[in-house]
Structure 1
Amino acid sequence: MKKKYDKIALITGANRGIGKSILKKIIKKNIYVIGTSKTLLGVKKIKKLVNKSGTGILINFLNIQNTKKKLYEIIKKFNTIDILIHNSGVIQDNLLINMSEKNWNDVILINLNSCFYLTKFLIPNMIKKKWGRIIFISSVNAYQGNIGQTNYSASKAGMIGFMKSLALEVARFGITANSIAPGYIKTNMTKKILKNIKNNINQIPIKNFGTVKDISNMVLFLISKKSTYITGQTIHINGGMLML
């Protein structure tokens, strides 16, 4: 990393969908981007996207020891991460009565427990610098629930509770923590879900599904100087399907 960058950002699940859109926006802001993926193909795609303005790293949050090792290597190499955008997530839908322990544990581990490991490793250096931006990508279903998603909804609701407590702990150090709760956004992960509810789109007042840019635009705002007085908040981007 020979060029001088304003900040260094870590984006999890950066090889496709929302994470990819966030990555493409951020690299235009003179920010060095480290993107994670759970597959080598995903890492390859990230490296191609960022070119010399970042890199891709293989992390599978199901493997706790490997996750710790990779995060330690990131800190050792880059010294500090100024911006964390935790977008990585998984769905393993099933009615609770049919849900296996693996369905439950995998989703909680990847979507929620990863919040603990990521922030635990990255916050000390943010505190030293007296600056940091942390953004968690949650879900509308953290608030309203969804049939077949007790695991997913619980993980995303837990993420929001985690974020609020974290925001209180680190605010005095110039670090903000917020979450974004997307509604129905067009991505590969939601393709099957959107197909099933296409005929019921009337539940969305705006009458269409969101795009990944709707989320990445908000991320850009939350890491900018314009958002310095916003912390502990969940920004809802759902076309009006849930109003709080």
Structure 2
Amino acid sequence: MKGFIYYEEADAVRNRWFIDELIKAGSVYDLDVELRVEDETGLDSADFIVYRGRDFEVSRKWEQDGMLVVNRSEVNRIANDKLQTFQLGALLGIPAIPTKLVTSADAIHEYPVVVKTVDGHGGEDVHLCETVAEVEQTISRYIGRQLLVQPFIEHNSSDIRLYVIGDEVVGSVRRTGVNNFKANVTLGGTAERFDAPAPLRDFAERIAKALKSDYIGVDFIQNNGGVWLLNEIEDPVGARSLYETSELNVAQEVMRHIHKKLLKSL
């Protein structure tokens, strides 16, 4: 069976090792996998496309053409919209950080708060604000983009990322920020193995089942009262932290999942 892994150029360069692992793992399951970088030529010949971008309209077009897309467009749409993510959590009964759209500091009555763009990722466009002036300055930086405001939850600059393939959690890590309230490893944070408790695994698997996702990351923080709060859903999710903290061959498990899915569709 023929498949493509589709990346934007900058991400393809940064993730070349994982791409090669996916291609190699595909051969184990008789999947002929090829990288395609910002080039849709010949994609209509594919049995499946592993989409590693963030524009759900791109993957929706492929779905409308009858192709299997991993992850499907609805996963991409919700995961890359933080407001949609929190609405999904509320619908599923999963505790989440109180979140609302913000256009002015007038609507904020308690500080500190976190202001972030709806569509940011990797810890980008996330700002801790302690005053009205800081909120107004942040809002002025993002004219024309939707912004969210959340109360700042003290969480020791750490979060938990659970990796879910199909509807099963396959691993989890604790990420800790360095000189930063953001825990993202791409911003200099560190990752260590974490054995997620059953309730947290249940939350992540509940999200994956609702989304009908293939491979996602689900991030939680824990407040001072010990309550786990949904923070983000990541699609496309990387695998670097999981490779560094476990023996799991992530690429092989992803390709095994795709192979099983293809066989069911025959």
More helix by percentage: 1
TM-score by length of 1: 0.34
The structure whose Rg is larger is: 2
Structure with greater strand percent:
2
